[in-house]
Amino acid sequence: MNLKLIVHTVLEDYALPWHGTHGVSHWARVLENGLRLAEVTGASIDVVQLFAVFHDCCRVNEGTDFGHGKRAAEYAAQLQGAVFDLPDDDFRLLYDACAGHTDGVTTGDNTIQTCWDADRLDLGRVGVCPEAARLCTEAAKEPETIKWADGRACFRVIPEIVEAEWGIDTAGWGQV
């Protein structure tokens, strides 16, 4: 899977600032949150990575944007088989994870739960501390995990993968 190509394809259609609240650094933190959780939960790594890049990519504003999860799922369906190619079962997980990520649900498939937790662990960037009761997996509820992820979220840390792997120049983005 060529995640750099996927990221740049998605960015061609992304309507909001790349450095914004729901932009590239959020995607990268969600990805790293998800990879950390997947070590424990056993979630599909491909689905976790694609969820990180797709779940907010069809937003049209940085606030309450009804329907952006479903739009992201449909957008991912357009690129499936063209820019990436997941097995059907994994694609269904990606689709459902994107479509349902704003509903506040905490139960369901393990990979989907991991995706949602990866996103919710980054709420500190908008001043919301993740609550264990609103997380899905035991791995995410670990105080050590919340502390690690929230520390990065609050400072809007830009993960190294943004420049090193995705080739995106972050100069001038700042971190807060």
If the CB atoms of residues 56 and 117 are measured against Fe ion, the closer one turns out to be: 56
What's the Cα-to-Cα distance from 44 to each of 36, 47, 51, 122, 132, rounded to whole Å? 12, 5, 11, 20, 22
Binder among 32, 96, 119, 150 for Fe ion (CB under 5 A): 119
Q: How far is the CB of 9 from Fe ion (least distance, A)?
A: 19
Q: Which residue, 29 or 86, is less far from Fe ion as judged by CB?
A: 29
Name the segment binding Fe ion (CB under 5 A); options: 41-49, 82-90, 92-100, 116-124.
Answer: 116-124
Binding segment toward Fe ion, per CB under 5 A, in 82-90, 112-120, 136-144, 165-173: 112-120
Q: Decide if residue 117 touches Fe ion (CB under 5 A).
A: no
In this complex, which beta carbon is closest to Fe ion, that of residue 29 or of residue 145?
A: 29
Locate tokens 């952006």: which residue?
Answer: 68
Using the rule CB under 5 A, is 56 a contact of Fe ion? yes
Rounded to whole angstroms, the Cα distance separating 50 from 15 reads 18
φ, ψ at 84 (rounded to 5°): -145, 165
Given the rule CB under 5 A, which of 13-21, 74-82, 117-125, 130-138 is the region that contacts Fe ion? 117-125
In the complex, minimum distance from the CB of residue 160 to Fe ion, in angstroms, rounded to a whole number: 20
Q: What is the CA radius of gyration of the chain?
A: 15
Integer CA distances (angstroms), 15 to 40, 42, 94, 113, in order: 34, 33, 21, 27
134 three-class SS: helix
Residues at the contact surface with Fe ion, assessed by CB under 5 A? 56, 119
